[in-house]
Amino acid sequence: MTRPVLHLHTYFLFPFVVERELVAEAHPEYWRGNRTWIDGIDEFVHAESLAAAPRPLLTHLGPWRRASYDRFDLDSPAYQDMVFFHPFVRRVFFDVKAGGNTASEQDTMVRCYEMPLPADGLQWTASVAGRSPITVAVTDLRLFLFANGVGLLSVGVEKRNLPFAEALWINEMFRKVYPTSGRQRREGRIPHLSRLHLDQTTLAEESFEEGELINFQPPLTRVIRELLYPFDYHKREFEQIFDERMIVYSYAAVDPDRTGESYVYSDELQVMLSRFLYVDRAGEQFRYDPVFLRRQMEDHLYTRWAHEGTYYGFTRYSNVTLTLGVTDRGDHLVREGALIHRMFDTRYYLMAVVASFYRASLLDFTENIALVSRRIFLDLQAGALTRQNMEIATDLRSDFLNFSNYWLFSELANKDEEIEHFETQCRAFRVDDLRKEIREELESMNASILEFNQSRSTDAVNRLAVLSMIFGAGAVLTGFFGMNFGREFAALFFAASPGREWVHYSAVAAVSLIALATIAFGVYLVASNWRDYRYILRGRHAQRRAHRWFSIRNR
């Protein structure tokens, strides 16, 4: 398979989840009081850029800097990016600069950063034994941080006029972020060296020679760790959320050296497309069983423009655009920029970011639900559901409600093509299936907690009833004894005649004993259930502080 690729442009997307509680605990100055995560993240990233230990990446490229949209005229990137999306999506997923004709910054629940690239270019090189190193130009470094703690690192690379086999190798090898075994490195299925550099100056590199799981965390490549320098991976301040591969969001314009309408449906092109879609290495035939693969590709391909030689494909780890040539597309002239690539680099890129954010958020919910469910299960086994765990479960349900109602949109864009494109990506990511599973799990958890609370409330009412009966009986007895009866009763109990004082003192002792026993029993009931009463007596702000930055992963 030697067909040339005129233009390869790939974004490697690395979703991750920041452990907000650990970061806020380590840097409380940015999240004092009622400040939310998104309110303090700008100051934190800026301060960490200044306080970070000297490192080549920051010395030569500079720190992450905010990349908000600030121009909205017809030819501005903001206008051209936003106009294809619904107004409510523009408010939610676009980082706009406060002031002018935009909403206030407090309304923006996402922060976008970029790392400036030098004029002479940044390179990324990967190599394996027995093969010459391959270098690509890094064209874009972006970092998205969302209010729910999910982040996404985007590394864009480009190369022109290369064999199709080399384009496949780039997509397969550069996406690896840690080895699945030592055998993978020995067999050359992961780079022996992954190096980010400016000519001969190395900014970050990884050889994958050693590594081990620590606290369930794999040995993440130094290239990623250096780019995410505000967060310390070894302190578990963030974790990768998918597998050992970044998501490949890729565009390839293939040289159309054959003509004829039949070629766009030919086996040769279908084989190329399957290798590109499933991020495989080059081969003359389908990588998997042809019958199986053709059936799979029916679900994974979007073929509205297949008759013109343009295919879009989506899997759980890839989002690809394959097109024949760079030509005029109807009224869209190539001198204004190749239409397919322009769409790839703008609206479809943003849709890929949103879809990746959805999947990362839902997988994060899945992990949190498992951890909270385990805590509740252990509590129920001990017969005492702690207030903190109930509040964490309540917060988790609240976060999911906010995600479903604020972040999650089944329809992002205005046009059928964009809607169908996004739906296909979300279907490959199992967004709707995951959301339904999480909703059912949260409903089951909520039902369990409600059932336990109902049982505990019944116990509390029963305790109150018993205590009331005892206090009431004691009050009746002491009241009866203390009533101002006269004649023989008074003479016997209150003004005993000489020789009969023992009756008076015995009555006083008996009534005192009953009163003291009643009070002691009340104190015992309160003390033995102090956990319930203590929460009621604490102030509301103290209650919130007790679990606001509580990490369920690291406890």
Report how far residue 236's alpha carbon sits from residue 215's, in angstroms, rounded to the nearest whole number: 9
The reported pTM is: 0.85
Residues 6+ apart with CB under 8 A from 467: 521, 522, 525
Backbone angles phi, psi at 326, to 5 degrees: -120, 100
Q: What is the pLDDT of residue 233?
A: 92
DSSP state of 262: G
Chain-centroid distance of CA 458 in Å reads 39
Predicted pLDDT at 483: 63
β-strand pairing of 110-114 with 65-66: antiparallel
The pLDDT of residue 546 is 47
The answer to whether 112 and 146 are in contact (CB under 8 A) is no
Which 8-state DSSP code applies to residue 176? B
> How far apart, in whole angstroms, are the C-alpha atoms of residue 222 and residue 205?
6
Distance CA(510)–CA(406), nearest Å, equals: 67
Give the pair of three-digit tokens for residue 27. Answer: 């840097």
- Helix/strand/coil for 205: strand
Are residues 281 and 270 in contact, defined by beta-carbon separation less than 8 angstroms?
A: no
| pLDDT given for residue 477 in this prediction | 63
| pLDDT (tens place) for every residue of the chain, 555 residues total | 567 899 999 999 999 999 998 998 888 889 887 788 888 998 899 887 776 667 899 889 989 999 888 778 887 878 878 888 888 888 888 888 765 455 555 567 899 999 999 888 899 999 998 889 999 999 999 999 999 999 999 999 999 999 999 999 999 999 999 998 888 888 888 999 999 999 889 999 999 988 888 778 899 999 999 999 999 998 899 998 888 999 999 999 988 776 556 777 888 888 999 999 999 988 888 888 888 888 888 889 998 888 888 999 999 999 999 998 776 565 555 555 578 888 899 899 999 999 999 999 999 999 999 999 988 888 878 777 777 888 888 889 989 999 999 999 989 888 888 999 999 999 999 999 999 999 999 998 888 888 777 777 776 677 677 767 776 766 666 666 666 565 556 666 666 667 767 777 777 787 778 778 877 877 777 777 666 666 556 555 544 554 555 667 665
